[in-house]
Amino acid sequence: MEPVSEDQSSDQLRRRALAGDGYAFGELIGPVLDPAFRLAMTMLKDRATAEDTVQEAAFKAWRKLDRFRPGSEVRPWFLAIVANECRSMRRSRWWVMRSNGPFSPPAKVQRDWADRIDLDAALDRLPKHHLLALTLYYHLDLPIEEVSRVLGCSPGAARVRLHRAIAALRPGLVTEVGR
């Protein structure tokens, strides 16, 4: 029996998934489920929300599978869908609500948070496209070419985004380091 290469196996799974085989689609994305979930966790900071997000992304990916070119890498394709789903989830009222604590007047909130500045809070304050770039590169350790594919830009533009993200984060880091 001829050995089946990774590309051939992936393409077979893709064909079966296109034909309606959900288990095949599960196998197709199985190897990238871990980085997808870690991306969602880092972006959303909530396990239940991350699970919902990755599940929804999985179904959207299945729906979009006809746009997935044979021979392409599954990871950047699926991570891009997860990242988009994270943005949608972050925009939704649901996500904001579940991350809330009790109501406080704005002035008090400002004082409390001024006392609690740390790197995690600095990450919270980052624009989400910056957080996404940092997560892909520094947490998931994707090569810059793959980061660029997830972000939908050139490798050069991805480097610029990372640079800007770090620059935006640096004031928070300085505050943290200085404490």
Q: Which stretch binds other proteins (CB under 8 A): 5-13, 71-79, 123-131, 142-150?
A: 123-131
Kindly tell me which of 71 and 130 has the beta carbon lying closer to other proteins. 130
Residue from 124, 143, 154, 156 binding other proteins (CB under 8 A)? 124
Q: What span, in angstroms and rounded, lies between the C-alpha atoms of 147 and 133?
A: 7
Question: How far, in Å, are 2, 26, 120, 133 from residue 170 at the CA level?
Answer: 53, 39, 12, 15
User: Quick check: 179 binds other proteins (CB under 8 A)?
Assistant: no
User: Quick check: 138 binds other proteins (CB under 8 A)?
Assistant: yes
Q: What span, in angstroms and rounded, lies between the C-alpha atoms of 149 and 177?
A: 33
User: Quick check: 109 binds other proteins (CB under 8 A)?
Assistant: yes
Kindly tell me which of 11 and 52 has the beta carbon lying closer to other proteins. 52
Question: How far, in Å, are 44, 85, 122 from residue 82 at the CA level?
Answer: 11, 5, 23
Of residues 7-46, which lie at the interface with other proteins (CB under 8 A)?
17-20, 22-23, 25-26, 33-34, 37-38, 41-42, 45
Residue from 5, 6, 177, 178 binding other proteins (CB under 8 A)? 177
Residue 145 CB, shortest distance to other proteins, in Å, is: 19
User: Quick check: 74 binds other proteins (CB under 8 A)?
Assistant: no
- The torsion of the CA quartet 78, 82, 87, 90, rounded to 10 degrees, works out to 180
Closest CA to 70 of 17, 10, 24, 25: 10
User: Quick check: 62 binds other proteins (CB under 8 A)?
Assistant: yes
Q: Do 22 and 63 touch, CB atoms closer than 8 A?
A: no
Residue from 135, 142, 147, 149 binding other proteins (CB under 8 A)? 135
